[in-house]
Amino acid sequence: MKESIEALAFFGGEPAFAEDQHVGRPNIGDEEMVLGRVRQALRTRWLTNDGPYVLEFERRVSDMLGVRHCVATSSGTMGLELAVKAAGLSGEVIVPSFTFVGTVHALTWLGITPVFCDIDPATHTIDPRRVEPLITPKTSGILGVHLWGRPCDVEALQSIASSSNLTLLFDAAHAFGCSHGGAMVGAFGAAEVFSFHATKVCNAFEGGAVTTNDDEFADAVRIMRNFGFAGEDDVRTLGTNGKMNEASAAMGLTSVESIGDFIAHNERNYRTYRSHLSGIPGIKILSYDELDRHNYHYVVITVDEAAAGLTRDHLHRLLTAERVLARRYFYPGCHRCEPYRSQFSNVGQRLGSTEFVASRVLCLPTGTAVSDNDIAAICALIRFCVANSYQVSGRIRPLERPERA
């Protein structure tokens, strides 16, 4: 402990890290393989529109997830929009507010009213007990989010959806490589949507995918992804351009081939964080259900001000000063972002757990760019901040900095 504290430039006025420690640093697989594939695409002059790498990417993903169809898209958000459109949703859709704003924007972009549902504070996912009271004659669906890669209570949501004749979709942006009840995330509900954005466990620079076991649903997404074309000169429906390009598919494919290494690294990081953070008052690391498979792509802590002596926001600022760029995902909750804040001004009253969690959560840097030593230093910083802070009328007194050894 002494060595790691001494190593922290914290005491000397210099930041603890010489370079920024980011959340969301991309995992890069076999660089040569990516470049080779991109070169091949250039040589063959096939750059997009259902090219060979996109088709291979879709095959690999659907095989891995054990689902009949994978339709690759240009982003997770585009995947959500296509899935919502293919499901024919309209009117109101029940969705958690505690998610990336893109989840909710996808609904609003299509003229659907998001109806914000509270989360279970223990899991941070939509609380099925809060869903039923929100159903109205205008409700057409439920959009659950497997936040942090922790699957929603799929069975409870499915049972509500079935009994109320609603379509159930899942935003699985965080959950690539995760399982629930022994089955890989990808085939739950009418469809699930993944993100392959640069910051995700596997990335395609930008990218997404809609997965489903429903043949008609997959066809609808495929056709709408390509302007409504069902064949040359045959435009069957309204569509958009949601296609993944070959450079993205080359990256995505190579990334998926390395998923075992990425997850192993993430899991080691997670366990290292867990052991270094243990015993720090007021700091709790979100756990994963050990019975399921996880990608451990998010290391999420909550800060309990009463026990830690400082707020999440204080800790966030202190870490930022030390070049540890932790993120307050997903603060302040979508209902407090525009246009929702203006549209639904009192909705926060029924989102008690969302507000509670959103004000306490902090995501710490992980992924293959982060080493054991980085984690030890980040945790030593957190331990130091907590040990040296106390609250005076809601303000934190400057940290007492011991003399440099």
Q: Which helix (H) or strand (E) holds 187?
A: none
Interface with ligand T4K includes 51 (CB under 6 A)? no
Residue with smaller CB distance to ligand T4K, 22 or 293: 22
State phi, psi for 94 to the nearest 5 degrees: -85, 130
Nearest-CA neighbor of 225 among 25, 54, 103? 54
Interface with ligand T4K includes 145 (CB under 6 A)? yes
* Cβ 353 to ligand T4K shortest distance, Å: 17
Taking CB under 6 A as the binding criterion, the range among 98-106, 214-222, 382-390, 393-401 that sits at the site for ligand T4K is: 98-106
Q: Which helix (H) or strand (E) holds 250?
A: helix 246-257
Strand partners, 71: 210
Interface with ligand T4K includes 25 (CB under 6 A)? yes
* Cβ 390 to ligand T4K shortest distance, Å: 30
**3-state DSSP assignment of residue 370:** coil
**3-state DSSP assignment of residue 214:** coil
* Cβ 301 to ligand T4K shortest distance, Å: 16
CA pair distance 59, 41, nearest whole angstrom: 18
Interface with ligand T4K includes 73 (CB under 6 A)? no
State phi, psi for 155 to the nearest 5 degrees: -65, -45
Taking CB under 6 A as the binding criterion, the range among 21-29, 213-221, 287-295, 388-396 that sits at the site for ligand T4K is: 21-29
Taking CB under 6 A as the binding criterion, the range among 19-27, 112-120, 162-170, 178-186 that sits at the site for ligand T4K is: 19-27
User: Do 1 and 379 form a contact (C-beta atoms < 8 A)?
Assistant: no
Structure tokens given for 27: 């995992």
Interface with ligand T4K includes 27 (CB under 6 A)? no
Interface with ligand T4K includes 269 (CB under 6 A)? no
Q: 392-396: which pairs have CB atoms within 8 A and are 24 or more residues apart?
A: 396/310, 396/314
* Cβ 163 to ligand T4K shortest distance, Å: 26
Interface with ligand T4K includes 337 (CB under 6 A)? no
Interface with ligand T4K includes 192 (CB under 6 A)? no
Residue with smaller CB distance to ligand T4K, 10 or 329: 329
CA pair distance 128, 79, nearest whole angstrom: 24
Interface with ligand T4K includes 99 (CB under 6 A)? yes
CA pair distance 282, 233, nearest whole angstrom: 62
Nearest-CA neighbor of 335 among 78, 99, 90? 99
Interface with ligand T4K includes 77 (CB under 6 A)? yes
Interface with ligand T4K includes 255 (CB under 6 A)? no
CA pair distance 219, 188, nearest whole angstrom: 18
Structure tokens given for 18: 């010489």
Residue with smaller CB distance to ligand T4K, 24 or 252: 24
Interface with ligand T4K includes 248 (CB under 6 A)? no
* Cβ 73 to ligand T4K shortest distance, Å: 9
User: Do 79 and 194 form a contact (C-beta atoms < 8 A)?
Assistant: yes
Residues 274-333 binding ligand T4K (CB under 6 A) are: 325, 329
Interface with ligand T4K includes 102 (CB under 6 A)? yes
In terms of Cβ atoms closer than 10 Å to its own Cβ (0-12, 13-18, 19+), residue 181 is exposed
Residue with smaller CB distance to ligand T4K, 128 or 207: 207
Identify the residue among 40, 48, 113, 199 touching ligand T4K (CB under 6 A). 199
Residue with smaller CB distance to ligand T4K, 160 or 201: 201
**3-state DSSP assignment of residue 387:** helix
Residues 207-236 binding ligand T4K (CB under 6 A) are: 208
* Site residues for ligand T4K per CB under 6 A: 22-26, 75-77, 99-100, 102-103, 145, 171, 173-174, 195, 197-199, 208, 325, 329
